[in-house]
Amino acid sequence: MEQSFETRPLVDREILRALQKREDVPSLIRLGMQLGAFVLAMVLVVYVSSSPVTAFAAALLLGAIWTTLFAPFHECAHLTAFRTRHLNTIGAWLTGIPFGMSPTVYREFHFAHHRYTQDPAKDPELLGSATFDGWPNAPLAWAYMVAGLWLLRLKVRLLFRIAFSSPKGPEFGAPFDDPSLRSTFVWESRAIASVWTATALLALAGAPGAAWIIFALVPCHMLQAIWLTAEHTGLPHDGTILNRTRTTYTSALVSWWLWNMNYHAEHHAWPAVPWHALPTLHRQIASHLEHESWGYWRLQLDVLHHNQLPDGAPLIASGK
């Protein structure tokens, strides 16, 4: 995505052009390390599967690593992880299969989210789930949000709805309404659904570790829900893109696994800037950020215990 969604001249053009330079080596190293950790965690789960306590701990570790694969998947969808489309496509498939979504389906969904961020009538994140719109105002609703199972359900429902559709059937509707992409949506979803189905069948058949791998989807989506709801939830429906997006300050370790996507306002304003340049971009525009939080868990606990967030945003965005 080459567009800039911040129209004010907050960054010098030459600096921005330099920040938009894509590099293969940083992404190859980071992606290789994360995929390697993911495979090793799966092997560990299978190896210790006969011991429930150890397998439970290994599945939690697998889930924590699993959720971070969304970061390179997202970056490859933007075509900013690598310099060539070919490498971005390979990266998107290597991470899209465990993420459970077709690269093309996600690209159409996510680009619409960028174009219509926080627009209740057009942003597919708000159309797909009210959870992303306003913060919950009751403890049980908060627990439901951070549990993340709603996110897993939405993902699986979309994956199999498209996979079981006919390539020549009616359009799926926005944001999947490009008829030229319909067959791509279907065959990609079928390929990924077959892998997920095979894993579920192995678990039902009692294959060593398969059930624990399925269980790892629970902590995976819990962590993903905590991460994703920090990005826009509770923020206004209008104003500048920086007024509709939140940046989260977190540890260097978490930022490493998330490919710097905690700098989310910066990413939404200038999505053509690759992940490795986001900290530099942040330093350029930090004084202009309108919504910031200090840690993912701190943000969620503030939602649970208070009526006002650290960045001054109300729990329920204005206009609701």
Segment (H or E) for 293: strand 292-294
pLDDT at 93 > cutoff 80: yes
Q: CA neighbours within 13 Å on the CB side: how many for 226?
A: 23
Q: Specify whether the CB–CB gap between 269 and 6 falls below 8 A.
A: yes
pLDDT exceeds 70 at position 283:
yes
For CA atoms 81, 153, 108, 260, the dihedral sign is negative
Q: Residue 320: what pLDDT?
A: 28
- Where do the structural domains in the chain lie, given as residue ranges? 13-305
Element (H, E) at 186: helix 182-204
User: pLDDT category, 311, cuts 50, 70, 90?
Assistant: very low
Which pLDDT score, from 0 to 100, does residue 319 have? Answer: 32
Mean pLDDT of the chain: 92
What's the pLDDT score for residue 317? 38
Number of residues written out for the chain:
320
> Could you report the per-residue pLDDT of 143-155, keeping only the tens digit for each?
999 999 999 999 9
Global pTM value: 0.92
Enumerate residues 6+ apart whose C-beta is below 8 A from 6. 240, 241, 242, 269, 270
